Amino acid sequence: MALFEVKPLDSRIYEEEIRDFLPEKIIDVHTHIWLDENITKESREYDSRSVAWPSLVAKDNSAEDLAETYRLMLPGKKVVPLMFGSVHNPADIGAVNGYVRDGARRYGYPALYYSHPDMDAETLEEEIRSGGFIGVKSYLSLAPRYIPEGEIRCYDIFPPHQLKLMDRLKMVVMLHVPRHARLRDPVNLAQILEIKERYPDIKLIIAHVGRAYCEEDAAGAFEALRPAKDLLFDFSANCNQRVFEMLIESVGPERIMFGSDMPILRMRTRRIDENGKYINLIPPGLYGDPTCDSHLREVSEEEAESITFFLYEEILAMKKAAAICGLGKGDIEKMFYGNAARTLGYEF
């Protein structure tokens, strides 16, 4: 049985609009792999301080499933992922990172260690070196429990002693910015600039274009971040064309990298911006009860027939933004392969 269905609509969109736009070699800098068996029962009841809808797409994502996803969704392309786990409860960190380590070794792929802010520098360095990881990823749900979700800071996810270590090792830090104002939040902006100033050798990647899923989320942010000349952005799980245009105009194609956020981008959805809030339009009945998350809205059966994969929506939004900004084939190759190859030290 296929991992998921690829409909004639999806194949047509890929063949007519996407295949020739993409380079032959692609590095996907934002992918999660984990096994359901590595998630403890307690974790399923743990307050993740996060949106609920991503958990409706897939219960897990093995390294083999990820490879099969690329085969189904990006046929004819050679795709290498930067892999890391998916952790909301510290109890799962050991098993999840162990699975990522083994998968990375088996496939020869680069991987990030999923860190916890309570880890001391010595332990973190030992885990990174012994596992062959090239950097760290973490998430706001691992910040101290007493901090309300809207008040979490970047330093609550990656404390200074860990950033100092990553600076010394000249490694990747994948930052999922917290706070309700997302990229434009003044605390986020100040701390991103401070991190780049204090720890200049960190390869700092701002995930999801700083969660700027609506144009309002990026208002004034790129101008404020201009002093950080080597700050990197991935555009995973984002399909806002105007935000992509703003990003390209502000930092150029040399600091932008493709990411998918697999397995979430297997989702069938069309994302809209409604009064500064993103809404994922989804086929009826496909993802359980949509009332569990205010970012979900079911459409009619008729409209659902025109909905394709989230991944294709993301790529098409970047294709349109690139055309408006006058980017050429070489620029596209940088965003989908070259920039990541340089940053990760991984070429194929």
* 8 Å CB contact between 100 and 83: yes
Q: How confident is the model at residue 14 (pLDDT cuts 50, 70, 90)?
A: very high
Q: 129-182 pLDDT, tens per residue?
A: 999 999 999 999 999 999 999 999 999 999 999 999 999 999 999 999 999 999
What's the token pair of residue 137? Answer: 């990823």
At 79, give phi and psi (nearest 5°).
Answer: -120, 130
Amino acid 287: pLDDT: 94
Sketch the domain layout of the chain as residue ranges.
Answer: 8-344
CA distance 10 to 24: 19
The per-residue pLDDT for range 191-235, each reduced to its tens digit, is 999 999 999 999 999 999 999 999 999 999 999 999 999 999 999
Residue 44: what pLDDT? Answer: 56
For 46-50, 88-92, 153-157, 313-317, which range has the lowest pLDDT when averaged over its residues?
46-50
In the 3-class helix/strand/coil scheme, how is 243-289 assigned residue by residue?
HHHHHHHHHCHHHEECCCCECHHHCECEEEEECCEEEEEECCCCCCC
Rounded to whole angstroms, how far apart are CA atoms 160 and 121? 10
Residues in a beta bridge with 256: 233
Long-range contacts of 188-196 (CB under 8 A, 24+ apart): 188/153, 188/154, 189/221, 189/224, 189/225, 191/153, 191/154, 191/155, 192/154, 192/225, 192/228, 192/231, 193/224, 193/225, 193/227, 193/228, 195/154, 195/158, 195/163, 196/227, 196/228, 196/230, 196/231
CATH topology of domain 8-344: TIM Barrel (3.20.20)
Section 26-41 average pLDDT: 92
| pLDDT tens sequence across 35-69 | 999 887 666 555 667 788 998 999 999 999 999 99
Distance CA 333, CA 328 (A): 9
Residue 146 CA to residue 268 CA, distance in Å, equals 36
Question: How confident is the model at residue 88, as a pLDDT?
Answer: 85
Q: pTM of whole model > 0.75?
A: yes
**CB 26 within 8 Å of CB 336:** yes
